[in-house]
Amino acid sequence: MRLLVIEDDEEMAQTVAIGLRRAGIAVDVALDGSAGLERALCTDYDVIVLDRDLPGTHGDEVCTALTTAGCRGRILMLTAAAGTRDLVEGLALGADDYLPKPFDFRELVARIGALARRAHPVAPPVLRRGDLVLDSARRRAARGDRALELTPKEFGVLELLLAAEGRVVSAEELLERVWDEATDPFTNAVKITVSRLRAKLGEPPVVETVTKSGYRI
């Protein structure tokens, strides 16, 4: 999952980003509405966490612009105002969910997960392929009776490959969906991560390299 946080309070934005990355989510951060809108229109985010009370380009304007442009990413609006009127106004602008500040971080993660599932075609909560099982909600994976100790990136790659159901997934798509903007687009991070994932999955091999195309299970 790849997510964008648009929040002008840099300390809060970075705190949220760090927490979400620890939860295995690739996170980009924009500190004002204009930069956030530009990024959201250029990158296929699953979820956009949008502060409503942004200076300059207000969060309401960002939300309206994204909705008008047909942005696929689901919008979770944050605001210090918690009244019913604010909730109704936010949803009327096109936001998919609304969370008042201050919020419980676990609730934020849960709401983001729910929105991400709505951003894609419905997929089984548990993905299986032969003796390989991945539980997205519990962040667990196993092969046969052996639990797999995977890093967040390894888990993300495996999840995306399993969800593809045999479709070839390019290195570019893996880089876009599992990593964030801090990653060098010319890096060999995908190749290294897939190599480490293969080693942890063991024999017989399940991840196939399709020359000049990508990877599939």
Which CATH number does the domain 126-216 belong to among 1.10.10.10, 2.40.50.140, 3.30.540.10, 3.40.50.300? 1.10.10.10
Domain boundaries, the chain: 2-119, 126-216
CB 133 within 8 A of CB 141: yes
**pLDDT > 60? residue 122:** no
**pLDDT > 70? residue 123:** no
What rounded mean pLDDT belongs to the chain?
86
**Topology annotation, domain 2-119:** Rossmann fold (3.40.50)
Q: How far apart are CA 106 and CA 33, in angstroms?
A: 25
End-to-end CA distance of the chain: 19
Query: Which residue carries 């009127």 as its tokens?
Result: 85
**pLDDT > 90? residue 30:** yes
**What's 211's DSSP letter?**
T
3-state secondary structure of 147: strand
Average pLDDT over residues 27-42: 92
Count the neighbouring beta carbons within 10 Å of the beta carbon of residue 115: 21
Between residues 103 and 183, the one the model is more confident about: 103
Average pLDDT over residues 134-138: 84
Residue 158 pLDDT: 94
Instruction: Kindly provide the residue ranges of all beta strands, DSSP E only, lying in the chain, ordered along the sequence.
Output: 2-6, 26-30, 47-51, 74-79, 97-100, 126-129, 132-135, 140-143, 146-147, 208-210, 214-216
**pLDDT > 90? residue 143:** yes
Q: Assign 87 a pLDDT band (cuts: 50, 70, 90).
A: low
Please state, for a pLDDT cut of 70, what percent of the chain lies above it.
90
Between residues 26 and 196, the one the model is more confident about: 196
Please tell me the least confidently modeled range out of 18-27, 102-111, 163-172, 184-193.
Answer: 184-193
Residue 84 pLDDT: 61
